[in-house]
Structure 1
Amino acid sequence: MKFKITILFIVFISTLSIAQSKVGTINSEYIISIMPQTKIVVEKTQDYGAKLDSSFSIKAKDYEDKVADFRKNEAEYGELMKKTLVNEITSMEQELKKYQENGNKLMQLKQNELMRPLYKLLNDAIEQVSKENKYTQVLTTSGNQFAYLDEKFDITQLVMNKLGVKAPVEVKE
């Protein structure tokens, strides 16, 4: 008799512990993409990119001028002068490539810096919604593939409401 009661007690406790777990899903990238602050981040990133591009354009123009001058006057140069100019042009070309790579890295860093507050805001809203609705886990659907998702556990709309973000209206043709 004690054995049956113990088994029933274990089954009851395990059922109780399973019932306490509540998992939700969220499409965080969707929310970030429609937040009004994202447009400001995009504008600031584009402005920063334009500044980098103008500096790059100056360096590229200098390089192109140097190459054009070399091609135009190549017949007049001696061997030593040709080698010196080829080395100089090669060096400029490598500098341009490095500048471009660094520019791409700087753009990514700037974008990350500007997006960080948005992700913080989103994470705070997710945490509040999760606590209010007693979710023990929230999984993001962005970039992941799931075999099955029950829409009733998707908290995307709840978080959007918390942030005051409205979904764009779809125009039907």
Structure 2
Amino acid sequence: MKKLIVAAVMALGVFNASAQNKIGYISTDELIGVMPEAEKADNELKAYQTELAQNGQDLMKDLSNRDSLFVRDSAKLSASMKEIKRKELITLYQRVQNWQNEAQEMYNQEAQKKIAPIRLKAMDAIKVVAKENGYAYVLDVNSVIVAPPGDDLLKLVMKKLNIKEPVAAPGAAPRN
């Protein structure tokens, strides 16, 4: 009987302790989307993507030009020179074939480099707001199925980062 009472008291204590832990949530994607740094990074990434696409087009144009020259001049070339030019064309063709994957990898690395400090700033602000408002846990909204609107920390974190709340599009549902 004594063990049962001790267990009940301990369970009650654990229940009371866990009842005091506030749980909040936030959409980190939405937060990062309204940060001025994200808009700048997005513009820089678009410019970088355009540059990569232009490099790919230049590579294709170079291959096309060299191929045309080879076809035009092949009758005048010696067998050894034809073989050298053919190998050059094959190498350039392989570069063109690999360019798409290389460009995608380069873009992903650049995006990671630009987004990482923005994400870190957002996470730091979320931690500060959670601590200031007594939240023991903050979940990303993408993993929360049901939550009361009062525990959404987006507006508090935006305020902490001095970001004005974006104006909702006409007919859009208001954010809580």
| TM-superposition CA deviations, 1:62-87 (whole Å, max 9, x none) | 10112333455667778877665544
Structure 2 equivalent of residue 169 of structure 1: 167
Alpha-carbon spacing, 1:137–1:83, altered in 2? closer, same or farther (3 Å): same
CA shift in 2, pair 1:27/1:84, >3 Å: same
2:100 is aligned with 1:100: yes
The offset of 1:15, in angstroms, is 1.6
Give percent identity, aligned residues only. Answer: 25
* CA pair 7-49 structure 1, distance change in 2 beyond 3 A: closer
Residues 36-56 of structure 1: CA deviation (Å, up to 9, x unaligned): 111111222223333333433
Change (3 A) 1:78 1:127: same
Q: 1:154 aligns with which of 152, 155, 165?
A: 152
2:174 aligns with none
**1:69 maps to what in 2?**
69
Cα-to-partner distance string for 1:131-159 (whole Å, 9 max, x where unaligned): 112212111124x4x43233222212211
For normalisation by structure 1, the TM-score amounts to 0.80
Deviation for aligned residue 1:130: 0.9
Q: How well do the aligned residues superpose, as a CA RMSD in angstroms?
A: 2.7
Matches within 5 A, 1:2-41: 2=2, 5-41=5-41
CA distance in 1, matches of 2:4, 2:169: 62
Query: Does residue 45 in structure 1 map to residue 59 in structure 2?
Result: no
Shift of 1:14: 2.0
Q: How does 1:128-143 map to 2 (within 5 A)?
A: 128-142=128-142
Equivalent residue letter for 2:26? I
Gaps in structure 2 of 5+ consecutive residues = 172-176
Q: Which has the higher contact order (CA 8 A, sep 6+)?
A: 1
Deviation at 1:118, TM superposition (A): 0.9
The number of aligned residues is: 171
Tell me the residue number matched to 2:55.
55
| Distance across 1 between alignment mates of 2:120 and 2:11 | 41
In 2 relative to 1, CA 106–3 (structure 1 residues): closer, same or farther, beyond 3 Å? closer
Q: Secondary structure at the match of 2:134?
A: coil
Change (3 A) 1:42 1:147: closer
What amino acid maps onto 1:124 in structure 2? D
Closer, same or farther: CA 13–71 of 1 in aligned 2, 3 Å:
same
CA distance in 2: counterparts of 1:78 and 1:55, whole angstroms: 32
Report the more deviating stretch, 62-71 or 23-32: 62-71
